[in-house]
Structure 1
């Protein structure tokens, strides 16, 4: 119940959830969400499948930050982001576009997912240049796309293993990697892994190419120290970044100069921080869940 003029816990929950959703999804978020979840038609993935479990969980907030930090260690990928993405000038716009793409391809109608992939591929075809070392790059290069893909998949899965509400078993984790491969291949990535073991091998294969350039260090500083946030959002964001950094492999933390005086106590503190903030986000967003249609009755139609 609610008395006139009084704010209830439910009001606070909805308000917090609304602020979080608007930050992540942008001004068009409610309309996009309604279309994604209620438009009739076949989907690429069955309702409740591992990719939907992972991508629909609050652990994605930690996984997304980890993915950005890890992806920055590929000099060509980092050069493309620095020169063409506008992440500094419009970080919230970039976040909204990325989150919408993930939602459409994971939950949306198959033709909407295919259209989203086609738009991204068109953008990639136009993004080209040279790294500061003079190495030419094209964003649509299959190997470059493969790095972006495996860094994301590894980050999302590890964050979900640590902070997800419903962690997957071994078979579910392999199925998650296999399902994300559908999207990776559609985007043009080469040699996308289809199991957790293949994912680890693919990442290891990229290691000789990875190094922290000045642009990568600048990006890490921006993400961790200068986020475009203020007021009450700054503290929970700091908890998210602590969880993301702790999830990075030791070699990546060292490259990005994030090791500092690492200790088991600090690692436990970072894990506790990630747990607290993902629980808070999950609690807030659950006050206004996405609309649901009878997606289970629709045939699944993933791209070849």
Structure 2
């Protein structure tokens, strides 16, 4: 495993995008977006208590993404198997038709995957991380490997910016602001806070959540009964640029998964130089 650089490696767009701490905003944005699919949000609400499990759930999701992007191939595949085992036993009921459906239905998995990766790459671009159009297409193509981990056929997953836009165009008629979506959005905006950090944590989180909501596509903001104005996009971009500057100036330590990935990459690079 010492020379296993995982699914992507240091030359990938995925490594470049996900090393940015400001991408936490993209994760929140993705959750707002995912809630607009009635079956996706029903699958979450009917199979978990997000009010009691919100912070551990966010931490587990962040750890999963970090493992898939920066872990070894074996670590990423093991994380994927764990997710597939959990999804395999979960069922939910359509709140309109009453029909039972599997949480790992491929259409739902595609929705979750696309909203996640599109949130990451669009947020990265708004933060001016320096992605070209070719970089964005490469990122989407790379991330089809991550889609395969949760059980999707990579050939059925949008692998470029144009394909992602087409996916959104075709699925938008299915999206709506259900009662469950409204409850989840409200909860994401004002989640419970530990008493010790309530005074500082709540205003800080509210600012992050408001920015994440403003980063949504205009059509998604309109579904939430919010203005879909170009000026909102401009304000959100300026906010995330400022946040990126502040966050990058802080003495934030990288996580162990990232540090280990950098160690393996340095070792491989050193070995290649010796071979030359």
Question: Shorter-chain TM-score: which interval?
Answer: 0.7 to 0.9
Aligned-partner SS, 1:99: helix
1:40 aligns with: 2
Quick one: which of 141, 144, 164 aligns to 1:199?
Answer: 164
Normalized per residue, the structure richer in helix is: 2
**Deviation of the 1:201 alpha carbon:** 0.9
User: 1:173-232: per-residue Cα shift (whole Å, max 9, x none)?
Assistant: 111001111111221235111111111111212112111110001111111234536222
Structure 1: distance between partners of 2:102 and 2:249: 41
**Deviation of the 1:293 alpha carbon:** 0.6
2:265 aligns with: 295
List aligned pairs for 1:70-81, cutoff 5 A: 70-81=33-44
**Deviation of the 1:277 alpha carbon:** 2.6
- Mean CA deviation greater in 242-251 or 138-147: 242-251
Quick one: which of 125, 128, 139 aligns to 1:161?
Answer: 125
2:274 aligns with: none
**Deviation of the 1:83 alpha carbon:** 1.5
List aligned pairs for 1:8-47, cutoff 5 A: 40-42=2-4, 43-47=6-10
1:104, 1:112 within 8 Å by CA — same for their partners in 2? Answer: yes
1:79, 1:130 within 8 Å by CA — same for their partners in 2? Answer: yes
Does residue 278 (structure 1) correspond to residue 240 (structure 2)? The answer is no
Task: Check 1:273–1:211 CA distance in 2 against 1; reply closer, same or farther (3 A cut).
Answer: same
1:63, 1:155 within 8 Å by CA — same for their partners in 2? Answer: yes
List aligned pairs for 1:50-65, cutoff 5 A: 50-65=13-28
**Deviation of the 1:158 alpha carbon:** 0.7
1:249 aligns with: 217
Structure 1: distance between partners of 2:204 and 2:13: 27
Aligned-partner SS, 1:88: helix
Quick one: which of 192, 211, 214 aligns to 2:179?
Answer: 214
Quick one: which of 199, 207, 218 aligns to 1:231?
Answer: 199
User: 1:13-68: per-residue Cα shift (whole Å, max 9, x none)?
Assistant: xxxxxxxxxxxxxxxxxxxxxxxxxx624211111411111122123121111100
**Deviation of the 1:266 alpha carbon:** 5.2
1:83 aligns with: 46
How many residues in Structure 1 have an aligned counterpart in Structure 2? 257
2:91, 2:101 within 8 Å by CA — same for their partners in 1? Answer: yes
- Mean CA deviation greater in 242-251 or 143-152: 242-251
Output the aligned Cα RMSD: 2.2
Structure 2: distance between partners of 1:240 and 1:132: 30
2:193, 2:201 within 8 Å by CA — same for their partners in 1? Answer: no
**Deviation of the 1:267 alpha carbon:** 4.7
Structure 1: distance between partners of 2:160 and 2:234: 29
**Gap regions ≥5 residues in structure 1:** 1-38, 299-304
